[in-house]
Structure 1
């Protein structure tokens, strides 16, 4: 029986004035899985995300969601279809409360996001659902806190809650643990695993420990093209993957040490 793919790209190409940033990418994301997109800096990972969510238009190629061609759709239409994306920088309203941030996201589904003249009491009916979402991401006790006062890891958890408020079928997470300390990384990784129930997640992530813990399947990009795909055990032993990350071939011990050091440096600089 063939796999059930929620998202597919066929011969996806993006060129910028003669430079090919995404080169003939055929990506298949199986429904109900966590799929990681990894690769060295400049491999084209975020460009692929921008193509999938139509922040960029493909030069050529096709994007399918649930078998429907969405290549020519606008970003808002794709979001309404059920593909919702987070960004590398936490996107929350810093001077609103945690609860208010989630209510704003819930308003989008109500279709009254811009009815500024209505009484705030109209939004009270959204409180129960907002609190459910906050509970799901471990933030219920912080509902009345002002968002700017939250530690960075909890801001990322709040962003996931606002994303879930849109009731997505598929989540695209762009560097969800970037800039976090070790403790926050573990908390957010556990959260991603928790919210993946009954959803599909495609994530770009530099932290290979997170990828190893979460991903059912990994696609490795290099210079805009797919280098290899498979489980973490498969791709981590691939000599081409090691060379793409490190520039040289190395034995297991050296490869693991360099990969860990590289990940730590990237987190420190973020």
Structure 2
């Protein structure tokens, strides 16, 4: 097995002649936190949708653990261990925090997802659910109705439910979007914590988050791969600076300062 858990080969998606993703070659190394960044409209979310088969590629291939999954269904990919979170917090608002995590754990019972299982049967999952909540610092919220939780804590819960699916690869779509500074810091530390022994690919707009926790960064612009490397590599790349600032030399110094400040 190669060192890359996920690889795309000339991945392309066209919408009526417009190439939203164009010949993207992405390689995510096993055990890394890998960020996919770029200006608005760069094709980041489209790329995520292709990887999880919410969209079908126009051309190109997707390999997961060296297996071609280009034609696989979203459900099959999830069963293989590619689990995605979304920009909008996707939890059940009127269940407790513990009940949300138990839903993610039901696959382990071999009974699929039955929302009306007896409490006694689902209680068998409580120990593992509480361990996951402890991992994301939510053990004290176990009996809280999810709708009453602060936004940042809901995102932490979503990470817990993602972990409940035992992912080999976690795809996090804008995990800190819409958060205040305190929540951004908490969720960033949480991602770093849960990454141990796992691989994470994340779309993220916050450069401080990217600089602080990512091993490798891929930069998209207008659907194409613009640059790839460590944060130090891409933050000094003139093409990346221009893509983010929209102008050339005059803006480069300001953006370099911004990127360095983020680090």
Fold in common (TM above 0.5): yes
Whole-angstrom distance in 1 between the partners of 2:141 and 2:193: 19
Mark the CA change 1:42 to 1:136 in structure 2 (over 3 Å): closer, same or farther: same
Aligned to 1:237: 236
Aligned to 1:92: 91
Aligned CA-pair RMSD: 1.9
1:160-179 to structure 2, matched below 5 A, reads 160-179=159-178
Whole-angstrom distance in 2 between the partners of 1:115 and 1:172: 25
TM-score calculated relative to the size of structure 1 = 0.92
Is 1:30 aligned to residue 29 of structure 2?
Answer: yes
Q: CA deviation at 1:258?
A: 6.3
Aligned to 1:191: 190
Q: Assess if the C-alpha contact under 8 Å between 1:104 and 1:113 holds in 2.
A: no
Aligned to 2:145: 146
Query: Larger deviation: 101-110 or 163-172?
Result: 101-110
Is 1:131 aligned to residue 130 of structure 2?
Answer: yes
Whole-angstrom distance in 2 between the partners of 1:45 and 1:32: 21
Structure 1 residue runs of 5 or longer lacking an equivalent are 264-270
Q: CA deviation at 1:117?
A: 5.3
Mark the CA change 1:253 to 1:243 in structure 2 (over 3 Å): closer, same or farther: closer
Whole-angstrom distance in 1 between the partners of 2:242 and 2:77: 36
Q: CA deviation at 1:252?
A: 6.2
Aligned to 1:74: 73
Aligned to 2:255: 255
SS in 1 for 2:54: coil
The aligned length equals 261
Q: Deviations over 1:213-256 (max 9, x none)?
A: 01100000000000010111110111110110111134665225
Whole-angstrom distance in 1 between the partners of 2:80 and 2:2: 21
Structure 2 residue runs of 5 or longer lacking an equivalent are none
SS in 2 for 1:55: coil
Q: Assess if the C-alpha contact under 8 Å between 1:177 and 1:188 holds in 2.
A: yes
Is 1:49 aligned to residue 48 of structure 2?
Answer: yes
Aligned to 2:210: 211
Whole-angstrom distance in 2 between the partners of 1:216 and 1:44: 21
Whole-angstrom distance in 2 between the partners of 1:228 and 1:81: 29
Mark the CA change 1:55 to 1:172 in structure 2 (over 3 Å): closer, same or farther: same
Query: Larger deviation: 103-112 or 250-259?
Result: 250-259
Q: Deviations over 1:42-77 (max 9, x none)?
A: 000000000000000000000000000000000000
